[in-house]
Chain A
Amino acid sequence: LAKTTQPISMDSYEGQEVNITCSHNNIATNDYITWYQQFPSQGPRFIIQGYKTKVTNEVASLFIPADRKSSTLSLPRVSLSDTAVYYCLVADSSNTGKLIFGQGTTLQVKP
């Protein structure tokens, strides 16, 4: 099973760009990289997903180098409401849809 490693916590200020890096050294060829956001006492919410290079949507960008052993979630101009836990996931490559959640990165955005 692929395992991910990401920082336990990060601090930022409103208006700054935040980059959260995740390492997944044992990622399998068919695995996608997915990021979720979770607020306290709520279910996680999908942010972005990618396989290689760069993916961008209205919320974030995801950068994946050629070796795919890491990925970086980029949140442009964060606000206080972006304070949450961010999970980097690599799915179980047995195609069962099983997601492996680590502890995630707690992002604290300050005014």
Chain B
Amino acid sequence: DGGITQSPKYLFRKEGQNVTLSCEQNLNHDAMYWYRQDPGQGLRLIYYSQIVNDFQKGDIAEGYSVSREKKESFPLTVTSAQKNPTAFYLCASSISSGDQETQYFGPGTRLLVL
């Protein structure tokens, strides 16, 4: 069963704590993306990776970090420097990074701050 999986579905963070959101895909896609969505808003790009061992900052990268050690995995760490982390986080992948490539999204992780 091919697709993108994100875990956990819900995540709670304490003040000053780093948390890591998982994103895995078995679609053999080269490109992967992380987006943040706030209530009633569209998605904003945090980080993206066009190939293994390479990634670039998106529009709102501050307070976040990523790694791309394997083609199928693109974990996102929300650091303590991110002062307003409560949001819905979506991971996506595409065959390549061309503009016309369809992005396939995972089910999302909702992060809440305690």
Contacts and interface: CB of A to CB of B under 8 A. Distances in A.
B107 interface: yes
Contacts of B92: 43
Contacts of A104: 42
A32 B98 CA distance: 10
Interface string A41-77: 1111110010100000000000000000000000000
Contact of A98 (B58, B90, B104, B110): B58
B7 to A, nearest CB: 14
B100 A103 contact: no
Given A43-B90, A43-B105, A98 B48 contact: yes
Contacts of A30: 99
A18 B55 CA distance: 39
Contacts of B26: none
A97 B110 contact: no
Interface residues of B, number: 32
Interface in B67-114: 88, 90, 92, 94, 96-108, 110
A46 B103 CA distance: 7
B44 interface: yes
Interface of A: 30-32, 34, 41-46, 49, 51, 87, 91-93, 95-99, 101-104
15 contacts: A30-B99, A31-B99, A41-B108, A41-B110, A42-B108, A43-B106, A92-B99, A95-B97, A96-B50, A97-B50, A97-B98, A98-B45, A98-B58, A99-B45, A103-B41
